[in-house]
Each structure stands twice: as structure tokens, then as C-alpha cells.
Structure 1
Amino acid sequence: MTSVRRRLAALSGGLTLALAAVILTPGVANAASNPYNGVCGANYTVIDHLKMTTSAGTHLGDAYLTYNSSNGYNCSLMQIVPGSGTMFAETKLLLTGGGGGDEDSGYFSSYAGPVYLYAKNRCIDWVGGIGGTSSVRLAGHSIINSHCG
């Protein structure tokens, strides 16, 4: 098992524990409170956005997935709500079925990432978490075999 797969398996276990206390609100409609900051660079368009909110209703941050159709790269980041201080955040992009990926995780005050993955004509797995610790997140997402381009 590759190191990325082991990390994904460990993340899935941690997310299972954390998801009991998570409410995910998909869509860019909520982006106004923590808008995408363009950190991925020019020509990247937001293709998915998840508002990361605890079961108590606390907005911790926003996960953004972007795509650059001119070069075939996806870019992901986990943006922390401004003024929230330092907290654990992570973002991962993996090719569905194996073949590579990129990730960033740690304690940040603005965002985890950006991470990039070439995935033209491939599907990706988009994973992230925020708040809590590296083993138990307060909010997270794991979207497997999605965003095919």
C-alpha cells in the first residue's frame, strides 16, 4: 500500500469519527462569508465549494476545489475563517484508483494548500478536514471518484 493510500485510509477512519459531529453545506452560495481568495493562480475556476461547519453551527472554514481547463490541473485548499486563529487544516487531491496525489496538512492560520494534481480526462478523490487534531477533525469531507475532467 502506498503512503498516500495509507494516509487516505487513516484519514477515512478519522473522518468516520468526526463525521458524526459534522454538517456539510455544499455549494458556492455560502462563499460570501469566506470567499475564495484566488490562491491557486490565474485561470483556475471554482468547481466545488464546501462550507465546513460543526454540528453546533460554528463555521470553521471553506474547502475549495478549482480546475484550470487550459492545463488540466485541479487545485484544492482548505481556507480558515479569517480571525479564527491557528487550527488544524488539511486538503488532499488523489487520482481515483491510484497513480498519485498531493496533500498539505498542519496547523495554519489562513489555509492548508494549495495542492495541485494533473487530472485531465481522469477522476479525482477530494479529501479535507479542519479543526480538532490530525486524528479527529471537527468538520471534514471525503468525495471519492468525483470531479472527472
Structure 2
Amino acid sequence: MTNTRRRIATFAGALALASAAVALTPGAANAASNPYNGVCGAGYAVIDHIKMTTTAGKHLGNAYLTYNSSNGYNCSVMQVVPGEGPIYAKTTLQLTGGGGADQDDGYFFSYAGPVYLYAKNSCIDWIGGIGGNSSEGLAGHFIGNSYCG
């Protein structure tokens, strides 16, 4: 899978939990404290990770995007930081431009997902969010048309 383009935009209204600004901290810097749990299954490799931090600076979870090159499927998981749940979490994969999607959302102690999407020779949008209380705001991400395989 080739990561051809990446656009990161804020995303707050889609979760309808709060109308707060969104803080993003992409990368694997915090993976050690809440590492990918392997829930997508064998053959899935992490291709992106985002530390989900509220506008108040509280780390609520980690979003992981994985890909299995042998079957052409992407998988996404929104992991909740241990001890923070139950907390609202959402993870979505969709084909860029429409045509297919998978989503999981609700209140979780451990993670939302996994969600799977076949995207061989297609581009996907990776969307997710995790909500705090009204004083913490929420954290979200939208990475559109950026993972193409």
C-alpha cells in the first residue's frame, strides 16, 4: 500500500459530543503506553498511529490503522487508554468518494473496532474520534484520500 497523499483536518461536529477544537498528535511517540493490541488479526501491519489528545491535553486513546497486503484489507481500531472507560469512541474506514464503509462506535472500556474495508487499488478515508467530558473536549481525526493501495 502506498501512502500517496495525506491531509489531516480537524473533526469535531461529526461526533456530536461537543463543539470543541481538536488537538492532534500523530505518530508513534505514545505507542509504548497504549500499544496496538493486535485485534485486527494475523498479517495486519500498523501503517499509521495517532495519539488522541483532547483540547485540554488529556490523552484518551490511540487510533491505529493497519493493512494486510496479502488480502487487500485495511483495519482500524480506536483504543481507549486503560482506566479511562467507558468512553465514547468511534472508528470508521470508507472508500474515498463513497462506495463502501465500515464503522463502530459506542461507549467502550477497551476499544472501538476493529472495522475492516477492502481497498486494494483504491484510496480510503480514515476517521475516528474519542470523547471526553465537557471540560476536556474531544479528540478526533480525519485523514482523507491518503492511503491508497
- So what's the TM-score if we normalise by structure 1? 0.84
Provide the aligned C-alpha RMSD in A: 1.9
Partner of 2:78: 78
User: In the superposition, relative to structure 1, how do residues 111 and 48 fare at CA in structure 2: closer, same or farther (>3 Å)?
Assistant: same
- CA separation in 2, counterparts of 1:95 and 1:76? 13
Partner of 1:103: 103
Secondary structure at 2:64 match in 1: strand
More helix by share: 1
**Ranges in structure 1 where 5+ consecutive residues have no aligned partner:** 1-10
Contact 1:62 1:80 in 2 (8 A): yes
**1:93 alignment partner AA:** L
Deviation of 1:49 (Å): 0.3
Partner of 2:43: 43
**1:55 alignment partner AA:** T
Contact 1:65 1:76 in 2 (8 A): yes
Secondary structure at 1:38 match in 2: coil
Tell whether 2:25 aligns with 1:25. yes
Residue by residue, what CA displacement relative to the aligned partner does 1:25-69 show, whole Å, maximum 9, x if unpaired?
111122111100000000100000000001221100000000000
Contact 1:18 1:139 in 2 (8 A): no
**Ranges in structure 2 where 5+ consecutive residues have no aligned partner:** 1-10
**1:139 alignment partner AA:** A
Deviation of 1:73 (Å): 0.2
Tell whether 2:136 aligns with 1:125. no
Contact 1:61 1:78 in 2 (8 A): yes
Deviation of 1:132 (Å): 4.0
Partner of 2:143: 143
Contact 2:89 2:107 in 1 (8 A): yes
RCO higher in 1 or 2 (8 Å CA, sep ≥ 6)? 2
- So what's the TM-score if we normalise by structure 2? 0.84
Secondary structure at 1:125 match in 2: strand
Q: Matches of residues 81-96 of structure 1 in structure 2 within 5 Å?
A: 81-96=81-96
Q: Could you tell me the percent identity over the aligned residues?
A: 74
- CA separation in 1, counterparts of 2:125 and 2:39? 20
